[in-house]
């Protein structure tokens, strides 16, 4: 297939979105065969099925690199409690929060979990998303963690979307281990990781390093196991306080550290040195009405690549719109629209360790989004409006 009369935002190296006016993209066997100005199109690509885009903007298909779309139940009641004055941490300490989603997830069948996840995934696909990261972490027992990861894999069977899984056994201490987080790490989290890895269910290992979750020392034990199994790591770090999670992640060469509201200049420097991506999650900041924004200027100054994701989860970010995340990243954190788009393409791919998506360049997968807009800045600019025209996944419309 050949796309012509396109405005290409290739996101491939060049500044200003890698914009190419009057562009064309040739695809073959699910890959991008050629992309550039129409006038330079090699003759060999000329005689294929052609779609005239009449100037529409083509970007790489979007990548949501941090989600918890597989979960049972919802937390609308907790939303009400927080509106009545309780904080996120108070709700969590009172047995609500993550642990209430754990009960609902344990109680749900695989089919029910899949049905719930697909509704959220469909909303993402409708906005041009073609790769989604999905975490476990609402099971907190071995069987339910494995169940969540199987459901995550099943999403990719049921829909034209690519899924990368993260094992998040170190998300919270379940009620049956209350006050014994170290025992939970030894008896459940690490054996669960081994079992999930043996079942080929794990693409990365994640953790939640926070006062209401796990200490850097506890996370380090999980990361040591990940390292011995050859699995890359990432970490929810400095979301509500600074415990040194970002620097821990950097020491393990993490793919990413995520949230980072309380990260500082030294954290940014350590992440730059390790090449870890800063995953910015404005939906959680917005929902929890946090006051401290992540140090975007420090990430920029140190050259830390920034990604943007939904964090789609029932508690702190009940949001499935990646376009809205981009808008929030700009409005709340002063990222530029170009940084936001890099954050859901190039840098989101990097946060997942993927090299074959996120840019429009020859040899990469033909995962593209075609938008009814005139300029790529419009993607971050509008609120609650979806200008997707068509999506191409592996070369298929």
Within a 10 A sphere around the Cβ of 3, how many other Cβ atoms?
Answer: 24
Q: Checking DSSP bridges between strand 129-135 and strand 62-64, what pairing results, if any?
A: parallel
Is 342 within 8 Å of 11 (Cβ atoms)?
yes
Residues numbered 119-178 forming contacts with ligand DI6, rule: CB under 6 A: 171
Does residue 82 touch ligand DI6 according to CB under 6 A?
no
Q: Checking DSSP bridges between strand 57-60 and strand 162-170, what pairing results, if any?
A: unpaired
End-to-end CA distance of the chain: 10
Does residue 311 touch ligand DI6 according to CB under 6 A?
yes
Does residue 238 touch Fe ion according to CB under 5 A?
no
DSSP state of 292: P
Which one, of 133, 255, 278, lies nearest residue 202 by Cα?
A: 133
Q: Name which of Fe ion, ligand DI6, none residue 296 binds, using a CB cut-off of 5 to 8 Å depending on partner kind.
A: none
Is 258 within 8 Å of 277 (Cβ atoms)?
no
CB nearer to ligand DI6: give 127 or 311. Answer: 311
Task: Tell me the C-alpha distance between 128 and 320, whole Å.
Answer: 12
Does residue 98 touch ligand DI6 according to CB under 6 A?
yes
Give the interface size with ligand DI6 as a residue count (CB under 6 A).
14
For the bound state, the minimum distance from the C-beta of residue 208 to ligand DI6, rounded and expressed in Å, comes to 4
Exposure class string for 60-86: b at 16+ Cβ within 10 A, else e:
bbbbbbbbbbbbbbebeebeebbeeeb
Give the contact letters, 171-210, x = binds to ligand DI6 (CB under 6 A), - = no: x------------------------------------x--
Of 10, 59, 67, 101, the residue at the interface with ligand DI6 (CB under 6 A) is 101
Does residue 290 touch Fe ion according to CB under 5 A?
no
Burial class (CB in 10 A: 0-12, 13-18, 19+), 334: exposed
CB nearer to Fe ion: give 64 or 311. Answer: 311
Of 210, 267, 290, 311, the residue at the interface with Fe ion (CB under 5 A) is 311
Give the contact letters, 337-376, x = binds to ligand DI6 (CB under 6 A), - = no: ----------------------------------------
Contact positions vs ligand DI6 (CB under 6 A): 97-98, 101, 171, 208, 236, 239, 284, 311, 313-317
């Amino acid at each position: 297939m050949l796309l012509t009369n396109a405005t290409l935002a290739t996101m491939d190296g060049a500044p200003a979105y890698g914009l190419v006016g009057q562009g064309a993209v040739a695809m073959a066997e699910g890959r991008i065969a050629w992309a550039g100005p129409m006038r330079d199109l090699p003759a060999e690509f000329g005689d294929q099925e052609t779609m005239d885009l009449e100037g529409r903007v083509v970007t790489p298909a979007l990548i949501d690199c941090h989600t918890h779309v597989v979960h049972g139940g919802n937390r609308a009641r907790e939303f009400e409690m927080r509106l009545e004055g309780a904080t996120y941490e108070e709700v969590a300490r009172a047995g609500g929060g993550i642990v209430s989603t754990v009960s609902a997830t344990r109680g749900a069948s695989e089919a029910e979990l899949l049905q719930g996840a697909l509704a959220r995934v469909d909303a993402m696909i409708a906005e041009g998303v073609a790769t989604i990261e999905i975490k476990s972490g609402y099971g907190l027992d071995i069987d339910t963690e494995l169940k969540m990861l199987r459901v995550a894999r099943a999403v990719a069977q049921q829909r034209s979307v690519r899924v990368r899984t993260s094992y998040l056994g170190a998300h919270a201490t379940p009620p049956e281990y209350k006050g014994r987080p170290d025992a939970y790490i030894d008896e459940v989290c690490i054996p669960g990781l081994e079992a999930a890895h043996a079942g080929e269910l794990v693409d990365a290992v994640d953790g939640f390093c926070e006062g209401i979750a796990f200490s850097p020392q506890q996370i380090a034990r999980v990361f040591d196991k990940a390292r011995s199994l050859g699995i890359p790591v990432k970490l929810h770090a400095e979301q509500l306080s600074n415990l040194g999670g970002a620097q821990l992640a950097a020491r393990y060469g993490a793919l990413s550290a995520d949230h980072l509201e309380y990260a500082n200049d030294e954290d940014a420097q350590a992440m730059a040195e390790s090449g870890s991506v800063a995953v910015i999650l404005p939906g959680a900041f917005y929902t929890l009405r946090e006051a401290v924004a992540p140090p975007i200027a420090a990430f920029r100054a140190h050259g830390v690549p920034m990604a943007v994701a939904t964090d789609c989860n029932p508690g702190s970010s009940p949001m499935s719109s990646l376009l809205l995340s981009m808008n929030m990243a700009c409005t709340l954190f002063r990222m530029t629209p170009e940084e936001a788009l890099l954050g859901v393409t190039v840098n989101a791919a990097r946060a997942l360790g993927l090299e074959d998506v996120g840019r429009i360049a020859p040899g990469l997968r033909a995962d593209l989004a075609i938008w009814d807009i005139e300029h790529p800045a419009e993607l971050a600019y509008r609120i609650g409006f979806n200008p997707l025209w068509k999506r191409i996944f592996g070369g298929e419309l």
